[in-house]
Amino acid sequence: MKTRRICSALLALILFACLFGAQGQYSTPTGGYSAGAASSGMDQTTTWQYSQFYQMLGGPAPSNHISVPQKYDITGNAPSTVLFSNQGPPVNYPQYTSSLAYTGGNALWVQGLTSWTRYAQVPRGSSLALLATTSTGGNGYLYEINPGAILAKNSFYFFRGSSQIGFYADTIGQHILLFIIDSQVSNSIVIDVVPYIPPYQYPAPIPLILPYPLGSSYYQASQHPPEQPQHPPEQPQQPSEQPQQPPEKSTMRPILTQGDTPVHLISQSIKGYQLFVDGDYIGTDGAGLDHLDGKINFWLNGDQHHTIKVIAGTRTYQSNIFFQKEKLKTVYVEIGKGIYT
């Protein structure tokens, strides 16, 4: 009985040394995990770097975030590389299995599409596959220290060779895991769970719309153009605004914009305006399927300047604006202010 107690105490010491030693081996991209880092989502770019190691699945969350091990055959499914931390370079799998670091004993990994890793940063609500490899198999324990510093022990049967274990990232923070079979302790792995931030949904390109609202005098005139060109009577011009010019496109048919950068054009004081981009007629606010709300969404090619022109009655507003690639840009046009961002 005394010998058994001593062995249990030694196992506990080894377990905690392995678990807490992992915190020094794997440093988060922010220099250490904290509640502040969790609320800000940490580094989402880093999360995407580990996208091969997790999946975002729909439906309700599982009742247990760690599933029972299932037999897994790595024959034909071996990784091309392995990662030992979030700082070192990947190592070719054949090189790893032939090195002194490979003992063939108990090892725990996060399984990816082409790689295995001992560290991963994943969004909350994602699902991962853990891989426990052992040369013996048998009954053992999977230990986890959750973000609340609570140690959880799961009694499992591990298959000889490889066992695949499902892990659901339900709690934001750092999770440290390892397993023990017959007093043989595996390496630890670290899973940093960060808040899930959905990818930005770009606005759909505006449909092909009519140049003027149905039933308006402008629309009727466009359907029955006079034989002789007619010019509207001159109107007094605002000193800070350009006089209205004839449309660049005589047909006044809008084009369907394309590109890699979404743009929102918004006006609170102007409704029913016409929009031109680089001389091309894009459409009219409130025409066709578009709502008369002073807003038009469209696309442009980014990382370059574009000329935005708005014609509203006798007023013309124009500005040359730089658009950063793949970044939403909101442009405003208001009476007395013109076009601005």
Reduced 3-state DSSP string for 92-135 = EHHHHHCCCCCCCCCEEEEECCCEEECEEEEECCEEEEEEEEEC
For residue 37, what pLDDT is reported?
Answer: 40
CB-based burial, 243-266: b 16+ in 10 Å, e otherwise = ebeeeeeeeeebeebebebbbebe
**Residue with the larger pLDDT of the pair 224 and 319:** 319
- Residue 179 · residue 141 · CB < 8 Å: yes
pLDDT surpassing 50 at residue 159: yes
Hey, which residues does 311 pair with through a beta bridge?
A: 274, 316
pLDDT surpassing 90 at residue 286: no
- Residue 190 · residue 169 · CB < 8 Å: no
pLDDT surpassing 60 at residue 133: yes
* Strand, coil or helix: 138: strand
pLDDT surpassing 70 at residue 7: no
For residue 104, what pLDDT is reported?
Answer: 77
Q: What confidence tier does 249 reach under pLDDT thresholds 50, 70, 90?
A: very low
Q: How far apart are CA 81 and CA 91, in angstroms?
A: 5
Find the mean pLDDT for residues 194-221: 54
Per-residue pLDDT of 315-339, as tens digits, reads 999 999 999 988 889 999 999 889 9
For residue 239, what pLDDT is reported?
Answer: 42
Find the mean pLDDT for residues 85-105: 83
For residue 46, what pLDDT is reported?
Answer: 61
Enter the tokens of residue 2.
């005394």
Q: In degrees rounded to 5, what are phi and psi of residue 38?
A: -65, -40
Find the mean pLDDT for residues 291-297: 86
Question: Rounded to the nearest 5 degrees, what angle is found at the Cα of 85, between the Cα atoms of 83 and 90?
Answer: 30
Find the mean pLDDT for residues 51-70: 90
Please report the domains of the chain, with CATH numbers, ordered by start residue: 10-194 (2.60.40.1930), 217-226+238-340 (2.60.40.10)
For the chain, helix (H) and strand (E) counts, in that order, are 5, 23
Q: How far apart are CA 318 and CA 307, in angstroms?
A: 7
**Residue with the larger pLDDT of the pair 318 and 219:** 318
Residue 84, Cβ neighbours under 10 Å: how many?
Answer: 18
Find the mean pLDDT for residues 56-69: 89
Name the average pLDDT for the chain. 78
How long, in residues, is the chain? 341
Find the mean pLDDT for residues 50-55: 90
Instruction: Please tell me the pTM assigned to this model.
Output: 0.53
- Residues 6+ positions from 60 with CB-CB distance below 8 Å: none
CB-based burial, 10-21: b 16+ in 10 Å, e otherwise = eeeeebeebbee
For residue 99, what pLDDT is reported?
Answer: 82
Q: How far apart are CA 108 and CA 43, in angstroms?
A: 25
- Residues 6+ positions from 106 with CB-CB distance below 8 Å: 132, 133, 134, 179, 180, 181, 184, 185, 186, 187
For residue 237, what pLDDT is reported?
Answer: 43
Percent of the chain whose predicted confidence (pLDDT) is above 70:
67
**Residue with the larger pLDDT of the pair 178 and 201:** 178
H/E stretch holding 295 reads strand 295-300
pLDDT surpassing 70 at residue 233: no
For residue 25, what pLDDT is reported?
Answer: 53
For residue 204, what pLDDT is reported?
Answer: 52
Percent of the chain whose predicted confidence (pLDDT) is above 90:
44
Enter the tokens of residue 169.
């990232």
pLDDT surpassing 90 at residue 250: no
Find the mean pLDDT for residues 135-148: 95
For residue 297, what pLDDT is reported?
Answer: 86
Amino acid code (one letter) for 113: L
Find the mean pLDDT for residues 298-310: 91
For residue 240, what pLDDT is reported?
Answer: 45
**Residue with the larger pLDDT of the pair 107 and 257:** 107
- Residue 307 · residue 279 · CB < 8 Å: yes
Question: Rounded to the nearest 5 degrees, what angle is found at the Cα of 293, between the Cα atoms of 292 and 296?
Answer: 90
Cα 7 vs. chain centroid, distance in angstroms? 47
DSSP of 174-235, one letter per residue? EEEEEEEETTEE---EEEEEE---PPP-PPPPPPP--SS-TTSHHHHHHHS--SS---PPP-
Q: What confidence tier does 247 reach under pLDDT thresholds 50, 70, 90?
A: very low
Cα separations in angstroms, 121 against 60, 68, 134, 172, 314: 22, 23, 25, 11, 56
